Structure 1
Amino acid sequence: MQDDLIAEARAWLAEDPDPDTREELAKLIETEDLEELADRFSGTLQFGTAGLRGELGAGPMRMNRAVVIRAAAGLAAYLCGSSQAGGLVVVGYDARHKSLEFARDTAAVLVGAGLRAALLPRPLPTPVLAYAIRRLGAVAGVMVTASHNPPRDNGYKVYLGDGSQIVPPADADIAGHIAAVGPLADVPRPEQGWDTLGEDVVDAYLGRSGAVLTDGGPRQVRIVHTALHGVGADTVRSAFVRAGFPAPVAVAEQAEPDPDFPTIAFPNPEEPGAMDLAFGAARAIVPDLVLANDPDADRCAVAVPDDTAEEGWRMLRGDEVGALLATHLVHKRAAGAFATTIVSSSLLGRIAQAAQLPYAETLTGFKWLARVDGLRYAYEEALGYCVDPEGVRDKDGITAALLIAELAAELKGNGRTLSDLLDDIAVEYGLHATDQLSVRVEDLSLIGAALERLRSRPPRTLAGLPVDSAEDLREGVGGLPPTDGLRYRLGGGAARVVVRPSGTEPKLKCYLEAVVPVADAAALPDARRQARDTLDTLARDLGTAAGL
C-alpha cells in the first residue's frame, strides 16, 4: 500500500501544472510523509451544489490548479452537452491565494472546449459576478472564492444562466463529467482567446444597486464599515456614495484585500473577535450603524448601539436583520413572494401572512431560495439577503447594506432606531428569538454519529417542552427535496429545532428558535429572559441527546 500511495502521488506530480504545488508534493514524496500523502490522496474533492471548497495544496483532496482544470473541463462538457456550445461563461474571482490563477485556468479550459469566456476586470464581490451573468446573457458563471472560510481555503462556485447557483441534478451531472476527464495533457488550454471585461460591468452593477432604494428617501446615516480583508470595500463605498449616502467610514486595518486575513482568525463577521476593530472604530466616531461584509461581500452583518453590551454594540442576528428588511419592504409596498429557509426564523412567515404576500420555505442555501416562483425577497439566517432578485438572484451583501441603511436613516429622521423597530415587531408578532449550537469537528464521522444517535434515540422533551413532531429531512418533508437533517417542533409552537451538517464547513449545526407571546412593550424584558432561558436549555439538552 505504501508503494501504491507513492506511485499515485508521483503520477499526480507528473501532470501538476503549478510549480508551487509540484514543489510541495515533491517534498512529501521525498520525505515519505505517508500520513500527509494518505490524507491528500484519500479520495477526490467532491463537486456538489456548493461547487468545490477546500484547503489549498497538492493532491486530489485539496484545492489546486489540477483540480480546478478538471472541474472546468467537466463544466464545459456539461454545458456543451446541454446545447450551450459557443455560449458565454463569465468568470469572477476574489483576492484569496490562487484565485486569479484558478480563474485564468477556467477561462482557458472553457475557450479550449469551444465556449466563450470573459473574466471580470479585477477581484470583485460575488454579487457582481451573479449580476453580470444575467446582464450579459451568459449560459453560466464561475466565482472563485471560499467566501468566509479560513485563509487556507479556496473554492469554486458555479452558476447557471439564470444567475442562480446550481441545484440537483445539475451538480451530479457536472460531477459525472468531471470524473470522466482524462489526463490533463488532453484538456485543451489555449494561452489566449478569452475576454477581460471592463469597468462598465461594475458601473452597471452599481447603477442597478440603487434600484432597491426609494428615490428622494432619507440618506443621513453615519456608518462604520469593514470588508474583513475581502474585496467589498471599494464597491460598498461606491454604492453608498452613488446612492447619496455619506461615504461609510472604513476600518482601515481591514479595508484592503489580504488573503492571509492577518487581523482575524476566521473572516466571518459571526465569529468571535472578527468585529473587534470595527467596534473600536465605532467607539471613536459614534456612528449610527456598524456594517460588515464577508470577504466576497455576498453577506452583510449589522451591529447597533447597545449600552448593555460589553463593546457598546450588539451584533444583530441574521434573523433580526431578515425581519427588519422584510418589514421595510412591506412598508415600501413590495409585491411578490417572501422566502426563507427551514433553518431560519418562522417570523418571516408571519410578516408575509399579515401583509397578504406569498410565502415559501426552502432547504438551506440561496441555490434553493433563488428558485421560488415570483420571488421578491429572500433571506437566510447566515447573514444572506436577496433584496433585488431581478438584478442579483443570489444573496447580495451590498444591496442589503444599502437597504438597511435606508431603513436606519428613515427611522433616525423620526427619532427612532432599528432596535425600536425590532421591539415593535416583537409586540406585533411575538418575540421570535433564535440561536445556534455549532460544533466544529476534525473527524467528520462524529457528525454522522451524532445524527444517528438522534435518529435511533429521539428526544421526547427538550428544554422541558414536549416534542410534538420529529421529522427526518432525509425523507423529504413538506414537498422539500430530501436532505440530511432533523427537525423538531416543540410545545405547541413554543420552540423549534433543526439539526443538519454544514454544507461548506466541517460542522454540525443546530438551529434553535423560541417563540414567546408579548402583550405590550413593557412585557419585552421578561419575554427576552424567558426566550434566552429556553434557548440555553435547548442547546444543553440537544447537545446531551446528540452526544456532543
Structure 2
Amino acid sequence: MANPMASEHLAELMSKAQVWLSQDPDNHTRTQLESLVTQAPNDPAALAELTDAFIAPLEFGTAGLRGKLGAGPNRMNRVVVIQTAAGLAQYLIDTGHSGESVVIGYDGRHNSDVFARDSAAVLAGAGLIPLLFEHVVPTPVLAFAIRELNTCAGIMVTASHNPPQDNGYKVYLGDGRQIVTPADEQIAQCIRAITDVTAVPRSDVCHEVPSFVMDRYVSSLSSAIHSGPTRSEERSDVVSVYTAMHGVGWATLREAFVACDFKEPIAVIAQRDPDPDFPTVAFPNPEEKGALDLAIAQANDSHAEVLIANDPDADRLAVALPIGNGGWKTLHGDQVGCLLAWWVLERANRSGVILDGVFGSSVVSSMLLERIAQDANLKYSQTLTGFKWISRVPGLVYGYEEALGYCVNPEFVGDKDGISAATFILEMMAALKSEGRTPWDVLDDLARKYGLHSSAQVSVKVSDMSLVPQIMGRLRSSPPQTLGRFAVSQIVDLQTPDSGLPPTDGVILHLAGDSDILRARVIVRPSGTEPKIKCYLEVVSALQDVADAEVSNEAALLELSKDSQPLLLI
C-alpha cells in the first residue's frame, strides 16, 4: 500500500520542479532536472537528490552564496544567480544608487563566466551600469577595482577553494569590502521578492572594465616594494616556486613579481592555468594534505628557497620553506601572519618610516599578534572571524586571519589578498637572504621574545546542522572544568554583549598554565562556510629554549586535541 505522506511529498516536489523548469534558461540544468523528475518515483537516490535540491533556497549571507552546481533553489545555477542579481539591483536602487556602476569579476570555475554575464544583463536591465572583466581575475583585483573605479558595488563569481562541483557569489559594496549585517539581510529580502526570473528585465548593454585597472593594481604593489628597504639585485636573487592550484592567480602574480624586480617564479605547470576540474588535487585548498605535493617536488628540482601557493581565486596565500635533506614544511597561517606582521614593522623601520595605525586579526587567530603590536606601540584590534570584519578596523595598517588570509595593502584592497602578501613574503626573503638569515630565524627570535605560540585545530563534520545548537548549548550549560592537564580559568561566551565583539556563536575557554605552558586557549565555534564545528587550540610556551618549547607545546596540543574532541559530539 502506498504511503500517503510519501506520495504527497513526491507530488509537492514534482510541482516545484515544474515551476522551476518553466523559468530555467539553462539547457543543461533543465535536462538534469527533467531526468531527476523522471527517475524520482522509482529511484531512491534520484528522489533524495531532488529533495535536497528543493529543500530550501541557498542562504544569502555576509559571504554571499556558495553551493553545489545543479538545478533547484538549493544549488548554484542561472535561476538563482538571476534572482540574486535582481535582488542586489533592487537593494542598490533602494539605497540611492540608481544609475551607478557595479563591477563584476569571475574565476575559472564551471559557469562562472555565464553567471557573471547573467548578472551584468540583470543589472543593466535595472538601469545600473555593469562593468565586466573580459577575462578571469583574482578576487583581490575585483576588490581593488571597486575603489579604483568608484563603483557602488562589486560582484565576484567564485567558490574560492571549495570542491570542483561548487560555485559561489560574493558581494561587495562601494567601500570595497564584503557586506556585513544588516546589508546581507536587506539584500536577502530583496532576493526573496523575486519569484519569477522570466519577468526580470535584462539588457545587453555592458561595458568592459578598462585595462588600466589591472595595470594600477600591479603598480600599487610595485610602488610599495620599490619604496621599501631592499635593492633590486637582492629581490632578483630569491628563487621561488609557485602554484596557482588550477586557479586564476598565475598571470597577475607573475606580472606583479616582474614589476617588483623579483625573479620570475617557477610555476608548477600542471597547476598553473585555470581548470575547473582541479585534476591534480583532491581538494583545491593549499591547507589540505597533499595539495602541495607537486609544488614541493618542483621546489626540490629547482633548488627553490621558498614555495608560495594561492588558492583558486588567489585571495589566500600558503608558504612552505625548506628544512633540509629535501624536506619542506608548510607554515601555519598564524606563522605566516606573524612573519608578515614582523616584516611590516621591520621594513618601516629600515625605510625610516614611522608606522602609525592598528594591527588587526580575527578572534581565532594567534594571540601573538597583539603582543607584537603592543611592543611596537601600535594599537591592536580583535574582530570576529572573516575579512569582512578585519577590513573594517579603523586605521588598519595590517591584518590577518589564520585561514591563510592577509591584508598588507589595506589602502588599496579592502579584503585579504594572496598576491600582495606574496610580494611582501618575497621582499622579506630577499632582505633576510642578504643577511644570511631565513624566516626560521625570525620565527625563533619571536619565540624567544614572546614565548613560542603553537596552534592546532580539531573539527567534526556535522551531517545534521540542527545538531549544532544542541552541541553549543551543552558547552554553555555544562562547560568543562579542565582540558588536558590545564584548568579552565575563564569562559567567554561570544553570544553575550560583554564579550567585546558583536554577538556570534562561539565560546572561548581560557586555560591556566603550568611550569612549561604560560597560558592556553580553546575556541569552539561552528564553521561559517562548511557543515563543521571547529576547535581552535593555542598554547604559549614558558620555556626559553625553542627546541624544548616545540616539544612541550606539541605534547600540550595533543592533550588538548584529545580532550576537545568530545566537546564537538552529541
Give the share of equivalent positions with the same residue, in percent: 53
Structure 1 residues 318-397: aligned runs within 5 Å: 318-333=333-348, 334-397=355-418
2:430 counterpart residue number? 409
1:536 counterpart residue number? 558
Question: Structure 1 residues 214 and 349 mapped into 2: Cα distance closer, same or farther (>3 Å)?
Answer: farther
1:404-423 deviation per Cα after TM superposition (whole angstroms, max 9, x unaligned): 11001110110000011100
Distance in 2 of aligned mates of 1:476 and 1:109 = 40
Shift of 1:446: 4.2
1:490 counterpart residue number? 511
Distance in 1 of aligned mates of 2:54 and 2:126 = 28
Matched, 1:314 2:322: no
Matched, 1:299 2:324: no
Matched, 1:208 2:220: yes
Structure 1 residues 186-265: aligned runs within 5 Å: 186-190=199-203, 192-215=204-227, 216-217=230-231, 218-219=234-235, 220-265=237-282
1:509 counterpart residue number? 534
Q: Give me the TM-score of the superposition, normalised by structure 1.
A: 0.97
Confirm or deny: 8 A CA contact 2:493 2:499 kept in the other structure.
no
SS of 1:378's equivalent?
Answer: strand
1:30 counterpart residue number? 38
Confirm or deny: 8 A CA contact 1:151 1:261 kept in the other structure.
yes
1:89 counterpart residue number? 102
**Ranges in structure 2 where 5+ consecutive residues have no aligned partner:** 1-7, 41-45, 349-354
Distance in 2 of aligned mates of 1:476 and 1:23 = 50
Distance in 2 of aligned mates of 1:11 and 1:424 = 64
Distance in 1 of aligned mates of 2:498 and 2:206 = 45
Of residues 245-254 and 432-441 in structure 1, the stretch that sits farther from structure 2 once superposed is 432-441
Distance in 1 of aligned mates of 2:27 and 2:330 = 43
**Ranges in structure 1 where 5+ consecutive residues have no aligned partner:** none
Distance in 2 of aligned mates of 1:120 and 1:476 = 42
Aligned with residue 284 of structure 1, among 295, 301, 308: 301
Distance in 2 of aligned mates of 1:261 and 1:183 = 34
Shift of 1:486: 1.1
Distance in 1 of aligned mates of 2:189 and 2:393 = 27
Question: Structure 1 residues 284 and 446 mapped into 2: Cα distance closer, same or farther (>3 Å)?
Answer: farther
1:488-510 deviation per Cα after TM superposition (whole angstroms, max 9, x unaligned): 11115610111111111222221
Q: Which one-letter code corresponds to 1:537 in the other structure?
A: E
SS of 1:482's equivalent?
Answer: coil
Shift of 1:5: 1.2
Confirm or deny: 8 A CA contact 1:212 1:387 kept in the other structure.
no
Distance in 2 of aligned mates of 1:476 and 1:267 = 37
1:463-516 deviation per Cα after TM superposition (whole angstroms, max 9, x unaligned): 211111112212244331111111111115610111111111222221110001
SS of 2:495's equivalent?
Answer: helix
Matched, 1:169 2:182: yes
Distance in 1 of aligned mates of 2:486 and 2:11 = 57
Distance in 2 of aligned mates of 1:182 and 1:450 = 36
SS of 1:474's equivalent?
Answer: coil
Shift of 1:402: 0.3
What is the root-mean-square deviation of aligned Cα atoms in Å? 1.3
SS of 2:321's equivalent?
Answer: strand
Q: Which one-letter code corresponds to 1:541 in the other structure?
A: D
Q: Give me the TM-score of the superposition, normalised by structure 2.
A: 0.93
1:347-380 deviation per Cα after TM superposition (whole angstroms, max 9, x unaligned): 0000000000011000000000111111110000
Confirm or deny: 8 A CA contact 1:426 1:518 kept in the other structure.
no
Q: Which one-letter code corresponds to 1:525 in the other structure?
A: A
Distance in 1 of aligned mates of 2:356 and 2:459 = 35
Q: What is the total number of aligned residue pairs between the two structures?
A: 542
SS of 1:332's equivalent?
Answer: helix
Of residues 200-209 and 123-132 in structure 1, the stretch that sits farther from structure 2 once superposed is 200-209
Confirm or deny: 8 A CA contact 1:225 1:291 kept in the other structure.
yes
SS of 1:498's equivalent?
Answer: strand
SS of 1:174's equivalent?
Answer: helix
Matched, 1:138 2:161: no
Confirm or deny: 8 A CA contact 2:103 2:209 kept in the other structure.
no
SS of 1:494's equivalent?
Answer: strand
Confirm or deny: 8 A CA contact 1:147 1:296 kept in the other structure.
yes
Q: Which one-letter code corresponds to 2:64 in the other structure?
A: G
1:71 counterpart residue number? 84
Structure 1 residues 451-462: aligned runs within 5 Å: 451-462=472-483
Distance in 1 of aligned mates of 2:567 and 2:60 = 32
Of residues 176-185 and 341-350 in structure 1, the stretch that sits farther from structure 2 once superposed is 176-185
Distance in 2 of aligned mates of 1:214 and 1:414 = 19
Confirm or deny: 8 A CA contact 2:460 2:568 kept in the other structure.
no
SS of 1:158's equivalent?
Answer: strand
Aligned with residue 454 of structure 2, among 406, 410, 433: 433
1:267-315 deviation per Cα after TM superposition (whole angstroms, max 9, x unaligned): 000000100000010111111100000000000100011138xx60000
